[in-house]
Structure 1
Amino acid sequence: MEPLWDGRRKELELLLKEFGVSLKCPEKFYEEGSALAEEVFKILQQKSKYTFAGRYKGGSFGKKTDVLEADLDLVVVCNRVHLPLKEVLDDFEKVLTLYGKELKIKENSIKKTERSLYFCFDNLIEVDLLPAVYIHNQEDIWKKIEMDPKNSFYYNPSFVDKQIAFLKCQPGDTHTLIRLVKYWFKNLYFEKHVMGGSAMMELISVAAVGQKNWGKGPRPLTMLKAFHKALDIIANLDSLRLAFSLKGGSKWKRLSDAELHLQNTNISDIVPKVIGLQTTLEKKCFIIDPANPFQNFLDEGMNSADVIQKMKTFATETQNTLKEIERDVKLHGTKFLLALFKPHPAALTNLTTLLLPNYVTIDYDYPYSSPYCDMEVRKQEVVTDRKMKNAMKALKRRLLSAINAVAKGNPDKFTATDIENVVNECVKTSFELNDDLATVKRDGHEEMDITLSIPYKLCRQPYAVRFSMKWE
C-alpha cells in the first residue's frame, strides 16, 4: 500500500492524541477520590489495631494511567504482618463497617476477597483497598518470593511506590498512548479474568515507545506509529521477552535479548541485577513486572495460553482494521474512532457463551448529574450468577467504548441521535448471533433486573445512557 499522505497522517495523529487525552478521568474524580481516600486512611490509622509504614493511592489513579471508569486502588503498608493477610482484612472490614456512614461508604457495599476489600462511596467511586507487607530489606522479600514464586502476586501492593515511580519517569506522551491501548483492551472479552491486564498494557506501551523521543529526530515517534507498534507487540505476544532494568537514578531501560541471557539472577548478587527467576528468563515469552521482578504476567499460573492467543487475535484484527481505515479518506473524527474501536464480532469474542439478557430497555438521553457510572440492581442473581454477571460486564464495556468514541471523539458536534445510533449498533453487534433478544424498548426500566447508567456530556449538559436488562 502507498504510504499515508502528510495531511491524512497529521489529521489522524492529532485525533488519536486528543482522544487519548480525553480518556483521562475528570478532575472531579481526582479531587473527590483523594479527599475520600485520606479520610479512609485517617480512620484506619486511628482505629485499626495495626500500625502503618505507608499509605498510597496506587493503581491507575496513582500512576496517572486511568481510563474512563477507573476505580480507586488504596494500599496500606502494615508493620509486622505476614502473608496471608486475612486477619488484617478482617480488622479493616470491621473498622470500615463501623465508620462507613462517616466515611460516606455506600451501605452494604463492602465485600472481602482473598487479598482486598472492595467498597463503593456514596458518590459512586469504587474502591479496592489492599493491605501490604512492609519491606525493610528488599532482598529478604525477594528470597521469599524466589522460594515460593506462585505467591508473588500477594507481594505486589508492597511494591506500589516502585510501580508509580516506573511510570512517572516515562517520556512525552507515553501516558496518552497507555490510555489508548488500555481503552482498546477494556473493550475485549476473554471469557475469563485476565490477571494484570492493565499493567501489561502499560508495560507494552512503554516498550512500544522504547528509547525514541516523541516528535524529535529525523523519524519522530508519533501517536499513530506508537499505537501501531503496541498492536504489533501484542500480536506477537507468544514470543515477547519483556523486562526492564534500572539504569542509574530513576531511568529505566528495556533489556535486550542478549542482555537477558547474560543476566546472573542469583539472589545474592547486587539487587539491581535481579530481574527475574532463571526459569522465567529461559521461557519463550514473558512480561516481567519491573517493580516485582519475580512476577511474570505471561506465566501459565497467571494467564493461560488461550488468553494469550486471544490477545494476539484481537491485536491482529485491530491492526488490519487500522491499516484499512487510516487510508479511507471518508472516515474523519468520530467515524474513524468508531471504526477503529468498534466491538469485535460476537463470533470472534465468543459472546454466545454468555447468558445474554432476553429484554433490553434503553434511554439515550437521561438527565444525569454524576460523572460516574451507576448500577441499580433489582435482582441479586444478576450479580451472583457468573454467566449473567459476565454478560452484564461485557455489554457495559462495549457500551462505554462506543459512547465515548462519540462523546469524546467529537465533543462539540455530536448529537443525541449520534449516541442513539452508536448504542443501537453496539447492541446489534453484541446480539448478532443470539435470537433471544426481544424488541428494544425505551421505557419500563423499573421492571428490569438491572440498570446501568453510563454518563456523557452533550453541549456541556450531563446526560446518561440508561441501559436496562432482564433475563427470563
Structure 2
Amino acid sequence: MDLQTRLRNFAQELAPSESSGKEVERCTNQIRQGLEDYCNGKSTFNRLEVVGSIGKKTSLWISMDIDIVVYFDDVVPPFDNIIETLKCFVKSNYDPNCQVTKHAVMFKYGEFFVDLLPATNFVPNYNNYRGRTQIQVNNVLKCLKSNSNLRHKEFSSSLSGAAVGFLKEQDSFTHSLCRLAKYWAMTVPLKGFCPGRSTIMELLAVKAAEETKIEQRQNIIQGFRTFLFKVRKINELEIFWEHCYTQDWIPLEILDEPPYLMDPTNPFNNLLSPRAVQYLEQLKRFANNTLCRLEKAECNWDQVDQSLAVKKIFFPLSRFQKLVDEGEKYPDFFVLGFKEMELHMPSIKIHSQTAEQTKVKTKVKPFFRMLTSFMCAISDQVKEAISCRNVQSVKSVMLSNMEDFIGGDWFDSADEHDERDVSIYIPISRSYTADVIVVSFDWCLQQASETIGECASDDETDSAEGVFTYDDEECCITKAYKYIIRKLCGMDIETQPESSPLIVSCPIMRNRANKKKNKHHNEVNEL
C-alpha cells in the first residue's frame, strides 16, 4: 500500500463512527424537543440547526463538541434576554453549572460539550420556502450593508447555516483534507487562544484542495503539502471565494491591508485579523517540520515501517515541556491506567465539586488536544498490545510512549484516579469501544514562588486497573512537601494515606529543584 492510500485511509479513520453520529442525532433531537416545550409561550423560538464541524461533516472522532444555533423571530443582537432564556432552560434540564457568555450557553450533556448560540431568523414562515438558507444569507447581508453601525460578528450565528452548507457541499477529498488539517493543528500546542482557529484550518484546506484538483486531481499528499505551504505564508494570504459574493462586497480597508481569509458567508468578516495572524504565526515552524517529515516519508517509503509511517508524520510536534513553560497552569502528578468502559469519544471528568466544569475544560483544552492527538498517533501499538490481553505488554507500550511524550520516570502506584483534579478518558479507536486509556493529573498553578498547585475536593468516579505514577528524579518531593506547599496556598487538605507512593513530581521546578532541595529538607523532616 503506497503513502497516498495510507494517508487517505488515515483521514477516513479520523471521521466519527456511525454510532457517534447516531448519538449526536439523539442528543440534538432531545434538546430540540426540550426547547420547543420550554419556549412555548415564552419566546419566539423558530428552529435549531446543528452547525460547527459536526454539521459540516469535518469533525474528528477525538474532538466532537456539538454546536447548535437556536433561531428566534423578531430579535436582534445583543441577545441578552435570549441568553437568559437559554441559560434557564439548560440549568433546569441539563447542567446547573453551565457557563454563559455574551454569545453562547455552554454545558455538558452526556459525553458531549454543547454550545447553544442564539441567532436571528430573517425568513418568516421559514419552512415554506425553497432556497431558504440563501434567503437568510441575503437578508442578513442587506441588513449589515444598510446599517454600518451594526457589528457583523454579532450576526455570525445567523449565517452559520450557510457556513455549514459551504463545507457540506464539498467532495469527500476536501473533507478528508480538512480532517488532516484540523488533526495536524491539534498536535501543535500554541500559546494563547484564537477564535475561529478550526474554521481557519478548514478554509485553508478547502483552498488547498481546490488548487490541488486543478493541477493533480485528488492527490492528498500534494493537497496536504499545499495546505502546509499556506500555513507557512499565513501573513501573506489573500483569499476569498468569488462564487459566494463579488469583491465589491468586501470593505476596502480589508482589501488594502492583507492578509485576509474571507468568511465565505460574510464579506465583512476577515478571519485573519491581526490578533489571529499573530497567534497563527506560531504555526510556521511546525509547518516546516511537518513538510520535512512528509518529504522523508515519500523518499524512504520502501525502507520504513509503513503501518506507522503516516502517524509519525503527525506525531505531536512539540514536547510536553513547551506547554509547561508557556502555560499559566499545567498538568502534573500524573496517574496513568486503562480500563474497560463504553465510550464514543475522548472525555474529560473534573473531580471537583466546586469547579465550573466548562471553564476548567476550556483551560485544560490545549493539553487535552495534545494528549488525544498523541494517543491517536500511537493507537495501533496500544490496540495490538490490548488485543493480546497481556497487562505487561500494555504497560510497556504505554509507559515507553508517555516517557517520551512527557518525560521523567514512572513507577507502579496505588493512587486512584479520583485523587487527582482532572481525568481524561481516551478510547483507543473511533469505534464504540470498551478499551479506554485513563490519564489523570492535578491542574497546577505556575508561579515564580515554590507554589505547586491547587487541590480540589474529589467527586466519585470509577478507578482504572493498572495504574502508574509519574516521577522525575531531578525534582522529587515528598507528599509531605506537597502538603506544605498546598497549605501555603491556603488549601485545607488531608495528607495522603501511607500506602500511597511518597514520590511525586513538579516539572516547573526542574531548573530550581537542586537549589530548593536543601532549603526545604528540614521542613519536610520536621513534618
TM range (shorter): 0.7 to 0.9
* 1:450 Cα deviation after fit: 1.6
* 1:225 Cα deviation after fit: 1.1
- 2:14 counterpart of 1:26: no
Q: How do 1:112-151 and structure 2 match up within 5 A?
A: 112-121=100-109, 123-136=110-123, 137-143=139-145, 146-148=148-150, 151=151
1:410–1:164 CA distance, 2 compared to 1 (3 A) = farther
- 2:224 counterpart of 1:236: no
Deviation string 1:140-175 (CA, Å, 9 cap, x unpaired) is 332267445xx3322111012211211122234110
Match of 1:362 in 2: 336
1:44–1:347 CA distance, 2 compared to 1 (3 A) = closer
* 1:89 Cα deviation after fit: 0.9
Deviation string 1:296-331 (CA, Å, 9 cap, x unpaired) is 11112x5152x1311222212211222123323333
Structure 2: give runs of 5+ residues left out of the alignment.
124-138, 445-451, 453-527
Deviation string 1:239-276 (CA, Å, 9 cap, x unpaired) is 11110122xxxxx69xxxxxxxxx662xxxxxxxx2x2
Q: How do 1:96-245 and structure 2 match up within 5 A?
A: 96-98=90-92, 100=93, 105=94, 107-121=95-109, 123-136=110-123, 137-143=139-145, 146-148=148-150, 151-210=151-210, 213=213, 219-245=216-242
| Bigger mean CA deviation after superposition, 34-43 or 345-354 | 345-354
- 2:286 counterpart of 1:314: yes
* Alpha carbons 2:177, 2:220 under 8 Å: kept: yes
* Alpha carbons 1:361, 1:440 under 8 Å: kept: no
1:381–1:421 CA distance, 2 compared to 1 (3 A) = farther
* 1:138 Cα deviation after fit: 3.0
* Alpha carbons 2:140, 2:158 under 8 Å: kept: no
- SS of corresponding position for 1:206: helix
Match of 1:63 in 2: 56
- 2:309 counterpart of 1:336: yes
CA distance, structure 2, for counterparts of residue 326 and residue 413 of structure 1: 28
CA distance, structure 2, for counterparts of residue 385 and residue 264 of structure 1: 40
* Alpha carbons 2:173, 2:218 under 8 Å: kept: no
Deviation string 1:164-220 (CA, Å, 9 cap, x unpaired) is 211122234110111111111122222211211111111111111115549xx8x43
- SS of corresponding position for 2:426: strand
CA distance, structure 2, for counterparts of residue 418 and residue 145 of structure 1: 65
Q: 2:82 aligns with which of 84, 88, 103?
A: 88
Match of 1:289 in 2: 263
1:127–1:279 CA distance, 2 compared to 1 (3 A) = same
1:264–1:231 CA distance, 2 compared to 1 (3 A) = closer
* Alpha carbons 1:338, 1:402 under 8 Å: kept: no
* TM-score normalized by the length of structure 2: 0.72
- SS of corresponding position for 1:344: coil
- SS of corresponding position for 2:267: coil
1:350–1:398 CA distance, 2 compared to 1 (3 A) = closer
Match of 1:467 in 2: 439
CA distance, structure 2, for counterparts of residue 169 and residue 385 of structure 1: 32
CA distance, structure 2, for counterparts of residue 40 and residue 291 of structure 1: 27
* 1:379 Cα deviation after fit: 3.8
1:397–1:423 CA distance, 2 compared to 1 (3 A) = farther
* Alpha carbons 1:411, 1:458 under 8 Å: kept: no
What amino acid does structure 1 have at the position aligned with 2:142? D
Instruction: Name the count of aligned residue pairs.
Output: 420
CA distance, structure 1, for counterparts of residue 217 and residue 247 of structure 2: 35
- SS of corresponding position for 2:270: coil
* 1:236 Cα deviation after fit: 0.8
- SS of corresponding position for 1:372: coil
CA distance, structure 1, for counterparts of residue 394 and residue 181 of structure 2: 23
Structure 1: give runs of 5+ residues left out of the alignment.
1-9, 247-251, 254-262, 266-273
| Bigger mean CA deviation after superposition, 50-59 or 410-419 | 410-419
1:376–1:458 CA distance, 2 compared to 1 (3 A) = closer
- SS of corresponding position for 1:244: coil
- SS of corresponding position for 1:190: coil
RMSD: 3.2
CA distance, structure 2, for counterparts of residue 55 and residue 458 of structure 1: 27
1:296–1:244 CA distance, 2 compared to 1 (3 A) = same
What amino acid does structure 1 have at the position aligned with 2:143? I
- SS of corresponding position for 1:358: strand
- SS of corresponding position for 1:397: helix
| Bigger mean CA deviation after superposition, 449-458 or 235-244 | 449-458
CA distance, structure 1, for counterparts of residue 217 and residue 381 of structure 2: 25
1:356–1:158 CA distance, 2 compared to 1 (3 A) = same
1:409–1:88 CA distance, 2 compared to 1 (3 A) = farther
* 1:88 Cα deviation after fit: 0.2
* 1:347 Cα deviation after fit: 8.6
* Alpha carbons 1:404, 1:456 under 8 Å: kept: yes
CA distance, structure 2, for counterparts of residue 287 and residue 454 of structure 1: 34
Identical positions, percent: 20
What amino acid does structure 2 have at the position aligned with 1:171? D
CA distance, structure 1, for counterparts of residue 14 and residue 44 of structure 2: 37
* 1:334 Cα deviation after fit: 4.3
CA distance, structure 1, for counterparts of residue 13 and residue 209 of structure 2: 20
Q: Deviating runs (4+, > 6 A) in structure 1? A: 380-386, 388-391, 408-414, 416-419
CA distance, structure 1, for counterparts of residue 104 and residue 432 of structure 2: 37
* Alpha carbons 1:402, 1:422 under 8 Å: kept: no
* TM-score normalized by the length of structure 1: 0.80
* Alpha carbons 2:119, 2:157 under 8 Å: kept: yes
| Bigger mean CA deviation after superposition, 400-409 or 193-202 | 400-409
Match of 1:78 in 2: 72
CA distance, structure 1, for counterparts of residue 393 and residue 307 of structure 2: 10
CA distance, structure 2, for counterparts of residue 357 and residue 221 of structure 1: 41
CA distance, structure 2, for counterparts of residue 205 and residue 348 of structure 1: 29
- 2:378 counterpart of 1:406: yes
CA distance, structure 1, for counterparts of residue 152 and residue 398 of structure 2: 41
* 1:383 Cα deviation after fit: 6.6
